[in-house]
Amino acid sequence: MSEIDLLLAKALRKDLLDENEALKLLQIKNCSEDYYKLISAANELTRQEFNNKGYIFTQLGINAEPCSVNCKFCSMGKDHYVMESKWRKDLTIILKDIEALVKAGIDDLFIMTTADFPIEQVLLIGKHAKKLLPPAMPLVVNIGDFDYKTALQLKKVGFTGAYHINRLREGIDTDTTSEMRIKTLDAIKKAGLDLYYCVEPIGPEHSYEELVTEMIRARNYQVQVMAVMRRIPVKGVPLYHKGQITAVELTKIAAVARLVSQPTRAMNAHETVEMSLIAGVNQLYAELGANPRDDYSKTENNRGFSVAKVRKLLQDAQYEV
Ligand code: SF4
């Protein structure tokens, strides 16, 4: 057996892969024989462990406004805002959107804001949103950094989880710090909220070592849902000229993250690339409203996928949705 065969066998036994072993998998040459062995192992583990279930998550971006965290990849960074307009969605409209999404058949609902959005309003939206969801449907918040007290408040109004990330090159490509992000990650876990993690936003300049650090961080937080996301070069943002990684590369990274991080419920790769659905990815996002990867603030009319489109993709990949 080759070294890669042994590593994949280890991953399929769900033994933990260390940093060097994860690096070896990421170093596999794209489209080589080992590449397809890797894809196959990640696919096998997901279909067995997650009972071939596919998940439709939906993210609702409720404001398009300049954000002080100023991420160099985001269309809403305050120093380079490139959205075509600025707005905050009215509560009544948000609730109408949510009703329609529930009717369309989603699994988890994400409420996303820029980092400066008032927490009182997030809590209010959460409280009203919760009443519209079936009791078991997860309600997830994707906002700026917050402390333990706020995490408890979020939980109290009905949020069940939080999407929060130590982004790649935090403090270099963003105006916040890893320390701040990690404090929030710890607050989320301490409060008993489910942490939704992602290695993002991956660009051609990032080393495999940087990616592995985040994969292992996710595993240490014992995430149920894991993801990888490639950076979308939005015209006019500072990192636009760095370009993007290929779909084949993103698929390899998703497969490795699946094996290394060991999520217990679902694996995602974003933005959606269909080939990742045979590489261990069983969850996709529909998107509405503002989106940091889009310069059009109603992403449902531009980059964002609809619930119906996501369902079709998962069904085509022979997942049960
Ligand atoms: S990615 Fe999020 S935190 Fe960063 S500038 Fe955009 S909205 Fe703000």
What would the pLDDT profile of 247-256 be if each residue is shown by its tens digit?
Answer: 999 999 999 9
Q: Which atom of ligand 1 is nearest to the CA of 78?
A: 5
pTM: 0.98
- pLDDT tier for residue 5 given thresholds of 50, 70 and 90: very high
CB atoms within 10 A of CB 18: 12
Ligand 1, atom 6, lies closest to the CA of: 74
Ligand 1, atom 1, lies closest to the CA of: 74
Q: Which of 63, 65, 71, 146 to mutate to test the pocket of ligand 1 (most atoms within 8 A of CB)?
A: 71
Q: Which atom of ligand 1 is nearest to the CA of 144?
A: 3
101 lines ligand 1 (CB under 6 A): no
- Asked if residue 284 lies in contact with residue 268, where contact means CB atoms within 8 angstroms, the answer is yes
Q: Give the pLDDT of residue 310.
A: 98
Structure letter (DSSP) for residue 67: B
201 lines ligand 1 (CB under 6 A): no
Q: Domain total for the chain?
A: 1
- Please measure the distance between the N-terminal and C-terminal CA atoms of the chain and give it in whole angstroms: 37
Give the residue-averaged pLDDT of 264-286: 98
Let me know if residue 197 belongs to a domain: yes
67 lines ligand 1 (CB under 6 A): yes
74 lines ligand 1 (CB under 6 A): yes
- Asked if residue 245 lies in contact with residue 91, where contact means CB atoms within 8 angstroms, the answer is no
Let me know if residue 289 belongs to a domain: yes
Let me know if residue 6 belongs to a domain: no
Q: Which atom of ligand 1 is nearest to the CA of 114?
A: 7
Ligand 1, atom 7, lies closest to the CA of: 114
Residue 149 DSSP SS3: helix
- Asked if residue 321 lies in contact with residue 315, where contact means CB atoms within 8 angstroms, the answer is yes
Instruction: Report the interhelical angle of 119-132 vs 91-104 (nearest 10°).
Output: 40
Taking only Cα atoms into account, the Rg of the chain, rounded to an integer number of angstroms, comes to 19
Let me know if residue 7 belongs to a domain: no
Per DSSP bridges, beta strands 87-88 and 63-64 are antiparallel
- pLDDT tier for residue 27 given thresholds of 50, 70 and 90: very high
Let me know if residue 253 belongs to a domain: no
- pLDDT tier for residue 181 given thresholds of 50, 70 and 90: very high
- pLDDT tier for residue 51 given thresholds of 50, 70 and 90: very high
Let me know if residue 274 belongs to a domain: no
Helices marked H in the chain = 3-12, 19-26, 33-49, 91-104, 119-132, 148-157, 178-191, 208-220, 247-261, 307-316
169 Cα to the center of ligand 1, angstroms: 14
253 Cα to the center of ligand 1, angstroms: 23
Give the Å distances, CA to CA, from 222 to 152, 189, 302: 20, 10, 34
Give the residue-averaged pLDDT of 35-45: 98
Residue 171 DSSP SS3: coil
Ligand 1, atom 2, lies closest to the CA of: 114
Q: Give the pLDDT of residue 225.
A: 98
Let me know if residue 265 belongs to a domain: no
**CATH at residue 168:** 3.20.20.70
User: Which residues have C-beta within 8 Å of that of residue 103, sequence separation ≥ 6?
Assistant: none
Residue whose token pair is 């990616």: 211
Which domain covers residue 197, as residue numbers?
53-246+281-316
Structure letter (DSSP) for residue 162: E
82 lines ligand 1 (CB under 6 A): no
Structure letter (DSSP) for residue 275: G
- pLDDT tier for residue 34 given thresholds of 50, 70 and 90: very high
292 lines ligand 1 (CB under 6 A): yes
138 Cα to the center of ligand 1, angstroms: 23
Let me know if residue 276 belongs to a domain: no
Residue whose token pair is 């105006």: 175
